[in-house]
Chain A
Amino acid sequence: MREYPASRGAAGDDMTSQLVLQEVAATELEESPATEKASRKWRRQAGGRRSMGMFLCIVPFMVLVFVFSYFPLYGWIYSLFDYRPALGLSGSEFVGLQWFELLVSSPTQVAQIGQVLLNTLAISFLGIATSVLPLIFAVFLNEVRAPWFRNSVQTLTTLPNFISWVLVYMIAFSLFSSSGLVNNILNDAGLITQPLKFLDTDQNVWLTMTLWGVWKGLGWGAIIYLAAIAGIDQSLYESAKIDGAGRFQLMRYITIPQLMPTYLVLLLLSVANLLNNGMEQYFVFQNAFNKETIQVLDLYVYNIGITGNSLSMATAIGMLKSVISVVLLLTVNWIAKRVRGQSIV
């Protein structure tokens, strides 16, 4: 039993050394001027064959990137036409930059787009600000001693992540509509006479949207931190305990600093998604009363293109998103250059 692995190890060593020898031989050959030409040819062919294989490995991904990231850019052409689906692109009228001119033609229009961008950024930044919550949650959850309790809390908080926004809205509606549970309870308790308007109001929309997002994503967001906590070297805790650290000091000086790298990576990724805060959530929650403060960029494009049936105009607005993304990227890049002395792109 003991000899077999040993001999295998030896064989492996032999092979490695053989390879090394070959390499040396090759180098020696190269140095001789007589065979230089032939060897270079051989090398180029071998290298070519090897990189061809490598290339074939990445081809599927290149195709994917092309099909899903570059090919859709072809759709920008729709913003230059007055696109009518029944006539096809070739039958639609070419209007040049009409839609772009329309976008900046009136101050109200510009103000509307400004409001949309404000909503998008505000909700995104609130989202980033609350991204610390899953971390705190994970740290505290980790301190729970009873495994059954910890596991059930974790399961219950992870579950909402798998509920679609439509169903979340159903829950919100049955709880908070004017004849919902909360209003009924308050009414029966005699605290209110008129139902409170939770859903159809423009008050605190950004905040409530963020809270729904937190409710849905808290447990899911915590998973990665729980995994990171499990990976922290236990000897750190042991030595801290020997130094007399209490429970909260362990959290403060060991757990949280150890989680910081993970947190920062996630933070960076969420900054990259600043404009992509989705639309399902806002789509299901929107109504005449909160529309002004809930319309984020993606929803605005949807409302204009699909609901308003102005596909070309929506394309033009959609392009705005790409432009802003590029600006954001360049800004972050510039900051990175200033701070770290090297650029990201």
Chain B
Amino acid sequence: MKLPKKAVAVASALAMVGLLTSCIGGAPEAERAAITEFPDKWDDEITIDVFDELANYMGVQEGWFADVVKKKFNMKLNIIAPNVAGGGDTLYNTRVSAGNLGDLIVVGKGKKLDELVKGGLVSDSSPYYPAMENVEKFDTAVTHLNDGKDGVYAFPTSVSSIKPTEPSEGIDPTFGPYVRWDLYKQLGYPELNTLEDLLPVLKDMQDLEPTAPNGAKVYAISLFKDWDGNMMVTAKQPTTFYGYDERGFVLAKADGSDYQGLLDDDGEYLRTLKFYHEANQLGLVDPESTTQNYDTMWSKVQNGQVLFSWWPWLGQAAYNTDANTAAGKGFELAPLKDMTVFSYGAEAYGAGPVITIGSKAKDPERIAAFIDWLYSPEGTYVNNSQTMGAAGPQGLTWDLDDSGQPALTELGKQAFIGGEAEVPAEWGGGSYIDGGSTLNVSAVLPADVDKETGLPFSYKSWPSYQELVKTPLSEDWKAKMGDAPTTMDYLKDNDQLLVAPGASYTPPADPSEIETLRNQVKAVIVQYSWKMSFAGSEAEFDTLRADLQEEAKGLGYDKVLEFDMETAKAQNEAREEVAEKLG
């Protein structure tokens, strides 16, 4: 009996080790003295880990942006991107369990940020805040974000001095029915009264161009599955043409005039599913939709295999190249008579993601200086993502002309209009596009105005750029649309834009039970949405719809909907409040 006792002792020792290692937390950090100025020079080079929930690139930042950061801060950025790693929150969970998420962290505010603050994984930047003079310009937003927290734990993103009742988008809306304008023109610009009118038009367009230049079959609509969340993401998009956006399982209208449950019989979501179902019956939906991801679909749009897009940043960005637009081919907005497109108002106190410093950061002072720089005019020009219209470093891609107006340089024209340019060696060399900031977070909104030039930071809004990108396609569209200078102007002038005031509303964290129910219900919703879109007959569609409603309700849909409904209404109150206060 002696030996088993020893075995027990060994076993319990092992158990203790296990328990202890799981209990070791971070040591309390030393109190730091407040500073009012950052040093100009940093002696030793460091590489910081950037945990960035928005980044679509994993690895060390390279190219001209890396060069700028290196010269200014003697620092390299090692980007850790859960989007690239995949597996949902697995990477986040693993890293927070280990007690170190990263040195610089870009994460959603609300539940995650609160957890990180509570769990001691992010640090208080109060000692550096007095020195952060660029961030200070947005002090209201910073204060609002850190309200109720004992210190300055996070910095808001997408801040601006634009009114919250004004769109945050520049010249293009976020959503809108975009079609291949050249084919639409050939059909004689048929009138579109409502969403369903698109079906026969798309059918005719597809008949006009049955095969793409690469020989592949053209399908008017191509869907993808990898962004699906609370619902089938491509089925939500057409609801935005009518001013709705999702808040959990609720579709809430931007002006607070209507709230729909996702599965309401006469709701917009089921209407879209029906739309896809009918489109599929007409042979308009790409059969590969069910298996492909965004990248595959993107390259199909690029190759001219797709004729409809929910977003300008898909259809136009992928297909409207120099060569195509010169030939009059490309995506443009084809307005539906009854649409009121949803637009995100400029967030008064910043958008959903926030920037924060990890509690185990190597050199928090330098990181604070880096964050501050992101809010400076220089940082805004350089850091914003290229699809948002970031102009790049002054002197490389753009400069002020004789009259003090910003204009693209030759290299800028090559990069932004031609699609690629080689960066000279003194700027770090390499491809311009690949060398751009991979942080993919806008500290300051690109639509915000630079006080120096009096024009927005985004090059797309500069008159000099507008002049450059005149093409037969855009001229044709403008002529048809009553000479509207941009899509946004057209929508505003025709009262077809519904701006949701940017209240920077943070929805309350789901209680754990709601969260669990939601995760199960949403899996069912996504699963059935796809089945319904590809149902073989109308009768099958109706059976699937009934099954979906029954199964979702059985799993607790109503309970989650009730919770979301309250959140949606609270969000609307916040919107009304901010519109009244700052609008």
Across-interface contacts of B94 in A (CB, < 8 A): 85
Which of A52, A84, A291, A308 is within 8 Å of B527, CB to CB? A291
Q: A227 vs B97: C-alpha distance in the bound complex, in angstroms? A: 48
Residue A239 at the chain B interface, CB threshold 8 Å? no
A98 & B97 in contact (Cβ 8 Å cutoff)? no
Q: A102 vs B517: C-alpha distance in the bound complex, in angstroms? A: 9
Residue B39 at the chain A interface, CB threshold 8 Å? no
A288 & B527 in contact (Cβ 8 Å cutoff)? yes
**Number of chain A residues whose Cβ lies closer than 8 Å to a Cβ of chain B:** 55
- Which A residues between 71 and 93 are near B, CB-CB below 8 angstroms? 71, 74, 82, 84-91, 93
Q: A66 vs B15: C-alpha distance in the bound complex, in angstroms? A: 10
Contact (A311, B93) CB under 8 Å given A95-B512, A108-B554: yes
Q: In the assembled complex, how far is the CB of residue B110 from the closest CB belonging to chain A, in whole angstroms? A: 13
Across-interface contacts of A200 in B (CB, < 8 A): 290-291, 534
Contact (A313, B516) CB under 8 Å given A62-B7, A106-B556, A287-B291: yes
Q: A195 vs B523: C-alpha distance in the bound complex, in angstroms? A: 27
A106 & B555 in contact (Cβ 8 Å cutoff)? yes
Residue A155 at the chain B interface, CB threshold 8 Å? no
Q: A195 vs B520: C-alpha distance in the bound complex, in angstroms? A: 31
Which of B11, B15, B97, B517 is within 8 Å of A85, CB to CB? B97
A109 & B88 in contact (Cβ 8 Å cutoff)? no
Which of A66, A82, A173 is within 8 Å of B512, CB to CB? A82
Contact (A88, B119) CB under 8 Å given A106-B555, A178-B288, A288-B526: yes
Residue A179 at the chain B interface, CB threshold 8 Å? yes
Contact mask for chain A residues 108-121; partner B; CB cutoff 8 A; 1 contact, 0 none:
11011000000000
- Which B residues between 64 and 88 are near A, CB-CB below 8 angstroms? 87-88
Q: A307 vs B90: C-alpha distance in the bound complex, in angstroms? A: 8
Residue of A nearest to B533 (CB): A288
Across-interface contacts of A91 in B (CB, < 8 A): 118-119
Which one of B18-26, B179-187, B350-358, B569-577 contacts A? B18-26
The total of Cβ contacts below 8 Å across the A-B interface reads 128
Residue of B nearest to A183 (CB): B287
Residue B382 at the chain A interface, CB threshold 8 Å? no
B523 & A87 in contact (Cβ 8 Å cutoff)? no
Q: A108 vs B90: C-alpha distance in the bound complex, in angstroms? A: 28
- Which B residues between 277 and 314 are near A, CB-CB below 8 angstroms? 287-288, 290-291
Residue B411 at the chain A interface, CB threshold 8 Å? no
Across-interface contacts of B92 in A (CB, < 8 A): 85
Residue A63 at the chain B interface, CB threshold 8 Å? yes
Residue of B nearest to A95 (CB): B512
Contact (A87, B115) CB under 8 Å given A102-B513, A310-B516: yes
Contact mask for chain B residues 395-416; partner A; CB cutoff 8 A; 1 contact, 0 none:
0000000000000000000000
Residue B425 at the chain A interface, CB threshold 8 Å? no
A66 & B14 in contact (Cβ 8 Å cutoff)? yes
Residue of B nearest to A90 (CB): B23
B14 & A67 in contact (Cβ 8 Å cutoff)? yes
Q: A304 vs B88: C-alpha distance in the bound complex, in angstroms? A: 11
Across-interface contacts of A306 in B (CB, < 8 A): 87-88, 90
Q: A89 vs B554: C-alpha distance in the bound complex, in angstroms? A: 31
Which of B112, B116, B513, B519 is within 8 Å of A308, CB to CB? B519
Which of B18, B527, B531 is within 8 Å of A71, CB to CB? B18
Contact (A74, B18) CB under 8 Å given A291-B527, A303-B523: yes
Residue A309 at the chain B interface, CB threshold 8 Å? yes
Which secondary structure dominates chain B's binding surface? helix
Across-interface contacts of A173 in B (CB, < 8 A): 291
A308 & B520 in contact (Cβ 8 Å cutoff)? yes
Residue A107 at the chain B interface, CB threshold 8 Å? yes
Residue A152 at the chain B interface, CB threshold 8 Å? no
Residue A292 at the chain B interface, CB threshold 8 Å? yes
Residue of B nearest to A311 (CB): B93
A86 & B530 in contact (Cβ 8 Å cutoff)? no
A195 & B115 in contact (Cβ 8 Å cutoff)? no
A289 & B531 in contact (Cβ 8 Å cutoff)? yes
Residue of A nearest to B287 (CB): A178
Q: A71 vs B97: C-alpha distance in the bound complex, in angstroms? A: 19
Q: A308 vs B526: C-alpha distance in the bound complex, in angstroms? A: 13
Q: A63 vs B7: C-alpha distance in the bound complex, in angstroms? A: 9
Residue A158 at the chain B interface, CB threshold 8 Å? no
B287 & A195 in contact (Cβ 8 Å cutoff)? yes
Q: A182 vs B555: C-alpha distance in the bound complex, in angstroms? A: 39
Besides A59-B10, A84-B119, A179-B288, 13 more A-B contacts (Cβ < 8 Å) are A55-B3, A63-B14, A85-B94, A88-B22, A99-B516, A108-B551, A173-B291, A287-B225, A288-B528, A288-B531, A289-B290, A289-B534, A308-B519
A sample of 20 inter-chain contacts (CB < 8 A) reads A52-B3, A63-B10, A71-B18, A86-B96, A87-B119, A91-B118, A98-B513, A102-B516, A195-B287, A197-B287, A287-B225, A287-B290, A287-B291, A288-B529, A289-B534, A291-B527, A308-B519, A309-B519, A310-B516, A311-B93
Chain B: residues with CB nearer than 8 A to chain A? Answer: 3, 7, 10-11, 14-15, 18, 22-23, 25, 87-90, 92-94, 96-97, 112, 115-116, 118-119, 121, 225, 287-288, 290-291, 512-513, 515-517, 519-520, 523, 526-531, 534, 550-551, 553-556
Please name the 3 residue pairs, one residue from A and one from B, whose CB atoms are nearest each other, closest first. A108-B554, A308-B519, A288-B530
